[in-house]
Structure 1
Amino acid sequence: MNKKEKRMAAQDALLSRVYDLILNKETLDDERSKLIEFKDAVESGKDFEQQLMNLAESLRQLAIRKLNNKETLSPEVGKFYMDISTTGLLKKNFGTGMTVISFLS
């Protein structure tokens, strides 16, 4: 399997996890909304890695808002966030991308 095939397989696996989380009864509505936004953007042909960075940032901001209210992300979405925030799918310039996104917000 070449690099591109490996990347596509990893993206497919990640998208499958997103589908499962969307359908998971424990996923909260605000989390589900962020996951659906990601799914729709990727399915419409937008850049997968950029959308993944956007999703990670959205979930990070959601987690911070919840923390301020003494709440947490649902368990499975929390695990998913930890996985995508440290995955090799995110480019090495993740920090730069987050800086740009924060300026655009």
Structure 2
Amino acid sequence: MILMQDLMDKLFDGRSAMDKGTLFHLRNVFNQRSVTKNVSESFNYVSDFLKFTTEGYVILFAMDILHMEDMNEDIQNDDKEEILNFVSEKIVDKVWREIDMVAKES
């Protein structure tokens, strides 16, 4: 709950209601009025909303990598598993930040 509260404090701002793609904007677009900035008041709603938005952005990212305009487009390759692995690697490589392993000096 603490991690989710930190996330909401940082990314969920009522002033961003008109900025497309922000959490507050998406809350309004998808009529998720039960989602509030205070996670302890609406834990399950916030949890579901964050899962929903994360899954949506991952799908959009995958569609962008595959140059798809529509979710109903068929992929022109028979090896769906190979494509899934390729897209997954691209997404993880782009999103996951490498941790610099620097030896601390004593």
**TM-score, length-scaled by structure 2:** 0.38
Higher relative contact order by CA 8 Å / sep ≥ 6: 1 or 2?
1
**TM-score, length-scaled by structure 1:** 0.38
